[in-house]
Chains A and B, each alone.
Chain A
Amino acid sequence: MASRRPGSWIAAAAAALVAAAVVLPLVGPVRVDLARAWAGVSPDHEILFHARLPRVLLALLAGGTLAAAGALFQALLRDALATPYTLGVSSGASLGAVLAMSLGWEQILGFPAVWAAAFVGAATVLALVVAIASEGRRMSSFTLLLAGVTINSICLALILLLQYLAGFAQSIAIVRWLMGGIEAVSYGVLAAVACAVLPAVAFVCWRAREWNLLAVGEEWAAARGVDTSRALLAGYLAGSFVTGSITALTGPIGFVGLIVPHALRLKVGADHRLLIPCSFLAGAPFLALCDTLARTVAAPTEIPVGVITAMLGGPFFIWLLRSRRRSLWL
């Protein structure tokens, strides 16, 4: 029920994030000597600072962002099963990224092409899914999920098509956007994505009061002075922007945006002023932990983290679907 001390939840989630950032880079099949790594001795230095740390940081950023985006989509669409992944927004972003790469685009309007195309892909799919599921002023949850599933498979089919048409080197790169995975990236790329995504996440947190009202209903919000069409547009744009930005780097990673907000709602309640920041802070270590599992369980083989989150999240999704059908409203 309602949290009595909202600050303590934020602090706990933030502590988990920091702990993950410090501890997880030390975990791996090869033991790293901290003193040697710090002193710049090879290979400990390279393993810690060029392989593991950027990967953990990217997992933190991606996990936090996807969880916050999940909570946002759930509020805007009034549906606890809506996430960037289940709506097909992640695969739309992937299709955009793959398309830009296959066509050999470098830049679109001065932005890195893969990134810009991923954003456009995400926004297009979201607009499409919302348009399909809207029945007048209502939104059908059933149609929403079916539309998401269908568009998801269309996008994946198109990615596969592009993969078959692509050369050998490109076709290997395209695999990343079929199954989401975290790879070590340069600190420059990491910083650029963080600079784009974090302000958008902060914006989403800042507007949380409006998401609260929209989560109850559009008329409910309008009768309380919210400019609903503008708020919805802002939310959809912010949601597709962050999803597109992350997916451009990681490919579609599912179920983080489902599991994390759902579990948190049971603890901190439905108030998005608390739920969205907590989702970000808790989603980050959650995905980083999943990714650490992904690179250690079958070492030296690395499993894409999307496999781990799907194996955790798939059954969870089915359980949620079943338990919701038993409740009053479906």
Chain B
Amino acid sequence: MYRLRGVGMSYNGTPVLHDVTLEFEAPLFAAVVGPNGAGKSTLLGIMAGLRPGYAGQCLYRDREVRRWPRRAFAREVSFVPQTVRIEFPFTAEQVVLMGRTPYAGGLFESPEDWEAVERAMQLTDTVAFRHRDFRSLSGGERQLVLLASALAQQPRVLLLDEPTAFLDLRHQIAIYGLLVELSRQGLLVIAATHDLNLAAAFADRIVALRSGRVVADAAPERVVDPAVIRQVFGVEARVAPGPRGRPWILYGE
């Protein structure tokens, strides 16, 4: 689905991503890991069509991402930002409804729009607070609503930037569990995170970035290795067997 060849990006002359060559095919749940400033968000932004100034080739379904018509692309690929700061009293349901924009024909919603919103809110368990002001929700509830809004786009690809950065354990597990389920249903799910344990416990594949370069790209069992962790994050760690046969990383020994 996605084929990236030699993708690079600079902000004001400072390169943040170099020569990234990757391929992704649905169904898959991939995690992009790396320390702060490694270029994770930039990579996802390029793939989401939000950073058209990239160098190299970023093909989605054999078409350069920046050449896709915006509306058609939004029906294929949806993007969940890390946080959204809303100034106005939109309700959770209205935020989810905005996911239907790439399908909109006029001013009002069609029955299909409501159906898609209903399904997305049920899947994310957000129905209970659909009429509440988005700003009054907790961090975890907000993230679920953002995810619902992305699902209302009925995409084939779901890109998420640090979906659980500020969340408590219960919400972290709920969101990663849901992402696994979505990938099982056929979606390509790619999430950026700096939490290597979460990635190792849930993702099918881990792409590790350091200073804008891909330093590892493989199944969790192979990426989660003291040598790789030292190279990517610059910390000493030990790897122990974790839940469901996945590796678990122990820090600070």
Q: Which residues of A contact B (CB under 8 A)?
A: 1-2, 74-75, 78-80, 206, 208-209, 212-213, 215-217, 219-227, 265-266, 269-271, 273, 328-329
Of the listed stretches B70-78, B119-127, B191-199, name the one at the interface; the rest are far from the partner chain: B70-78
Flag if B98 contacts A269 (CB, 8 Å). Answer: no
Flag if B95 contacts A216 (CB, 8 Å). Answer: yes
Q: Which residues of B contact A (CB under 8 A)?
A: 48-50, 70-75, 78-79, 81, 84-91, 93-95, 98-99, 101-102, 104, 107-108, 131-133, 135, 153
Flag if B91 contacts A1 (CB, 8 Å). Answer: yes
Q: Which residue of A lies closest to B91 (CB)?
A: A2
Chain B residue contacts of A265, Cβ below 8 A = 88-89
Q: In angstroms, how far is the closest chain A Cβ from the Cβ of B153? A: 7
Flag if A271 contacts B90 (CB, 8 Å). Answer: yes
Chain A residue contacts of B91, Cβ below 8 A = 1-2, 269
Q: In angstroms, how far is the closest chain A Cβ from the Cβ of B143? A: 14
Flag if A273 contacts B132 (CB, 8 Å). Answer: no
Tell me, in angstroms, the Cα distance from A29 to B132 when the chains sit together.
49
Flag if A270 contacts B73 (CB, 8 Å). Answer: no
Flag if A270 contacts B94 (CB, 8 Å). Answer: yes
CB<8 Å pairs between A and B, sample of 18 = A2-B91, A209-B107, A215-B88, A215-B90, A219-B50, A220-B84, A223-B50, A223-B78, A224-B101, A225-B72, A225-B73, A225-B102, A227-B70, A269-B89, A270-B90, A271-B90, A271-B94, A273-B107
Tell me, in angstroms, the Cα distance from A222 to B68 when the chains sit together.
12
Chain B residue contacts of A328, Cβ below 8 A = 135
Q: In angstroms, how far is the closest chain A Cβ from the Cβ of B123? A: 19
Chain A residue contacts of B48, Cβ below 8 A = 223
Chain A residue contacts of B131, Cβ below 8 A = 1-2
Flag if B153 contacts A269 (CB, 8 Å). Answer: no
- Evaluate whether A225 and B101 lie within 8 angstroms (CB atoms) in the complex, with A2-B93, A219-B81 already known: yes
Flag if A1 contacts B89 (CB, 8 Å). Answer: yes
Q: Which residue of B lies closest to A79 (CB)?
A: B87
Chain B residue contacts of A2, Cβ below 8 A = 91, 93-94, 131
Chain A residue contacts of B104, Cβ below 8 A = 209
B88, B101, B133: the one contacting A209 at CB < 8 Å is B101
Tell me, in angstroms, the Cα distance from A329 to B84 when the chains sit together.
12
Tell me, in angstroms, the Cα distance from A74 to B98 when the chains sit together.
18
Given contacts A79-B87, A265-B88, A328-B135, could you give 13 more A-B pairs where the C-beta distance is less than 8 Å?
Answer: A1-B131, A1-B133, A209-B101, A215-B86, A215-B90, A223-B48, A225-B73, A225-B74, A225-B102, A266-B89, A269-B90, A270-B88, A270-B90
Chain B residue contacts of A226, Cβ below 8 A = 70, 101
Q: Which residue of B lies closest to A268 (CB)?
A: B89
Flag if A212 contacts B107 (CB, 8 Å). Answer: no
Q: In angstroms, how far is the closest chain A Cβ from the Cβ of B39? A: 17
Tell me, in angstroms, the Cα distance from A271 to B89 when the chains sit together.
9
Q: Which residue of B lies closest to A230 (CB)?
A: B70
Chain B residue contacts of A216, Cβ below 8 A = 84, 86, 90, 95, 98
Flag if A78 contacts B87 (CB, 8 Å). Answer: yes
Q: Which residue of B lies closest to A216 (CB)?
A: B86
Chain B residue contacts of A220, Cβ below 8 A = 81, 84, 98
Tell me, in angstroms, the Cα distance from A216 to B98 when the chains sit together.
10
Q: In angstroms, how far is the closest chain A Cβ from the Cβ of B129? A: 11
Q: In angstroms, how far is the closest chain A Cβ from the Cβ of B56? A: 21
Q: Which residue of B lies closest to A213 (CB)?
A: B98
Flag if A222 contacts B88 (CB, 8 Å). Answer: no
Q: Which residue of A lies closest to B133 (CB)?
A: A1
Flag if B50 contacts A224 (CB, 8 Å). Answer: no
Flag if B81 contacts A222 (CB, 8 Å). Answer: no
Tell me, in angstroms, the Cα distance from A273 to B104 when the chains sit together.
13
Q: In angstroms, how far is the closest chain B Cβ from the Cβ of A268? A: 10
A74, A80, A206, A227: the one contacting B107 at CB < 8 Å is A206
Q: Which residue of A lies closest to B74 (CB)?
A: A225
Tell me, in angstroms, the Cα distance from A227 to B90 when the chains sit together.
22
- Evaluate whether A224 and B99 lie within 8 angstroms (CB atoms) in the complex, with A80-B87, A208-B107, A215-B88 already known: yes
Tell me, in angstroms, the Cα distance from A206 to B107 when the chains sit together.
7
A74, A215, A224, A329: the one contacting B102 at CB < 8 Å is A224
Residue picked from A1, A79, A220, A328, most chain B C-beta under 10 Å: A220
Flag if B71 contacts A225 (CB, 8 Å). Answer: yes
When A and B form their complex, which 9 residue pairs have the shortest distance between CB atoms, in order from nearest?
A225-B74, A225-B102, A225-B71, A270-B88, A224-B101, A223-B79, A270-B90, A2-B91, A225-B70
Chain B residue contacts of A209, Cβ below 8 A = 101, 104, 107
Tell me, in angstroms, the Cα distance from A265 to B94 when the chains sit together.
14
Flag if A1 contacts B132 (CB, 8 Å). Answer: yes
Q: In angstroms, how far is the closest chain A Cβ from the Cβ of B120? A: 14
Chain B residue contacts of A271, Cβ below 8 A = 90, 94
Chain B residue contacts of A206, Cβ below 8 A = 107
Chain A residue contacts of B99, Cβ below 8 A = 224
